[in-house]
Structure 1
C-alpha cells in the first residue's frame, strides 16, 4: 500500500471517530435537558457515568492524530486537517461536559416543583441541538454556506439567554427561599448558551480548514 493510501485510511478512521464522538455528545446533551424536565435523578446519574465514553473517544482521536503526524509527517492542508480534527473533538467533548453539568443540576434540584416556567430553557435547547446537529453535517460535507447560516443562529440563543436571566433575576425577588433553585436554573441556561458557542467554534474551524484562514463570527 502506498503512503498516501495509508494516510487516507488512517484519516478516515479518525474522521469517523469524530462523527461518533459528536453523535454521542449531542445525544447526551439533548438527553440531559430531558432528564432535567423529567426531574429524573437516576437517569441523571446514568448520563454522568456515560460521559467516560465521550472522554475516551476524544483521547483516541488525539492519540490517532499524534500517530498520523509522527508516521506520515503531513504538511500544509493535510496538517491543517488533522489539527482541526483535534480541535473539533475538544469542542464536542465540552458538549458532553455540559450534559454532565446539567445532569448534576438535575440531581441538586431534586423533585421540588420549579418556581419558574422553563419555556426559555426548552426553546434554547431546541435551537442549540439544531445548531449542533446541522453543524456536524456541514462539517462532514464541508459546507461553508450552511456553517455560516448556522453560526448566525447563535444570536437567537444569546437573546433567549438574556431573556431567561432577566426572568430568573426578577423571580428572585418574588419567590422566598428560591434563590438556590433559580441559580441552578441560570447555570443550566449558561450551559446551553455555551454549547451553542461551541457549535459556532466548529463553524470557524471549518472555515480555517477549507480556506486556510481564521474567521471569527461576531
Structure 2
C-alpha cells in the first residue's frame, strides 16, 4: 500500500492544481483582450478547448481536497485553506465558463460597436483576476484590500452598456434587438467574472485570517432617499435611519426638484426628543448620485420618476414608495405638533427598514 503524503504535501498539490487551473483561465482572458485589440477568431477556438481542461482540473482539486479531509483531519489554517481552495476552484471554474461563453459569442459575430467600452471593462476584469491570483499564490494580500472598489468600475461600465442597449431597443426591429441582447449578455458575463474574482479574494482573506480577524474591506450597500420638494424631507428621513444602519449601509439624499437651502440643523431641537442627531447629507440630483451598490431607492411622497430618470436607476436596485411621507419642511419646522405626527410615522417606517437591512446583513 502506498504511503499517504503529509498534510503539507497534499495542500501543496491542491494549490499546484489550482494554479494550473487559474493559468488556463487567465490565458482565456488574455485571448479575449487580444481579440478585442486585433480580432482573430482562430485564437478564440482555443478557449473552448481550454474549458474542458478547466473542468477536469476542478474535479481533480475536489478529489485532492476530499483526500486531505479523509486522511489528515486538518485544523486551523490548514482546514481554512483546504475549504477555501474548494470554494475558489468553483469560482474559477465559473469564470472559465463565462470566458468560454464570451468566446463563443465573438466567434459567431463581429466585435460590438462599443469595442472601447468592452475593452476597458475586460481589462478591469482581468486586473481583478490578476490581483486575486497574486494574492493567492504570491501572498501579497495588499492587492485585494480595495478589490470591491475596483469592482465598482466594472459595474459602472455594465450600466453604461445597458443604457446603450436600451436606446438601441427603442428602434424596435430584429437587427437592433439582436444587437441590444448581445451587449446585455456580454456585459453581464464580464460583470459576473468581476464578482467571482471578489468572491475569490474573500476566500483568500478567510483562509489567512479566519472569520474573526478578516481584513478585506467589504463594500457597503447604499440606500438612496428621494423627494420632490428640495431634498429636506429626504435628509430628515436619512437622519432618522442613520444611527441604526451607519455601519452597514451608506445613505444618499437626492431630489427631483430644485435643491432648497433649508438647513437641517434648524430641526435640532425637535429631533432631540427622539435622540436623533441631524446629519448633513449632500443633496444631489438623480443624474449625479453614486448608484454603485445601491440596494434600495426610497421615494418619499406622491410622485413618479420620468422614463429618463427611471432608466438611470440600476435594475438591481429595489424601489420602495412611502407616499405618506409628504409634508412641507417649513410646516413641520414651525409647528411642533405637526412635526410629532410626522416623526411618529417616520419612526415606524425607518424601524421596519432597519430590521430588513439587519436581516439582510445576517444572511450575508
TM-score, normalized by length of structure 1? Answer: 0.87
Between the two structures, name the one with larger relative contact order (CA 8 Å, sep ≥ 6). 1
CA shift at 1:96, angstroms?
Answer: 0.7
Find the aligned partners of 2:56 and 2:217 in 1 and give their Cα distance.
29
Bigger mean CA deviation after superposition, 166-175 or 178-187: 166-175
Structure 2: how far apart are the matches of 1:18 and 1:29? 17
| Shift, 1:70, TM fit | 0.6
Q: 2:201 is matched with which residue? A: 203
Name 1:173's counterpart in structure 2. Answer: 170
- When Rg is computed on C-alpha atoms for both structures, the one with the higher figure is 2
| Corresponding residue number in structure 1 for 2:20 | 20
- Which range moved further: 70-79 or 83-92? 70-79
Q: Which runs of 5+ in 2 are unaligned?
A: 220-364
User: What is the CA deviation profile of residues 159-207 of structure 1, one whole-angstrom value per residue up to 9, with x for unaligned ones?
Assistant: 1111111112212335842211221122111111111111111111112
1:19-168 matches, within 5 Å, as: 19-35=19-35, 40-109=40-109, 111=110, 114=112, 116-168=113-165
**C-alpha contact 1:29 1:95 (8 A) present in aligned 2:** no
Q: TM-score by structure 2 length?
A: 0.54
Q: Report the aligned-residue RMSD.
A: 2.5
Structure 1 or 2: larger helix share? Answer: 1
Q: How far off is 1:141 after superposition?
A: 3.4
Instruction: Give me the whole-angstrom Cα distance separating, in 2, the residues matched to 1:55 and 1:44.
Output: 18
List alignment gaps of at least 5 residues for structure 1.
none
In the comparison of the two structures, how many residue pairs are matched?
A: 213
SS class of match (1:178): helix
Residues 80 and 209 in structure 1, CA contact (< 8 A), matched pair in contact too: yes
More strand by share: 2
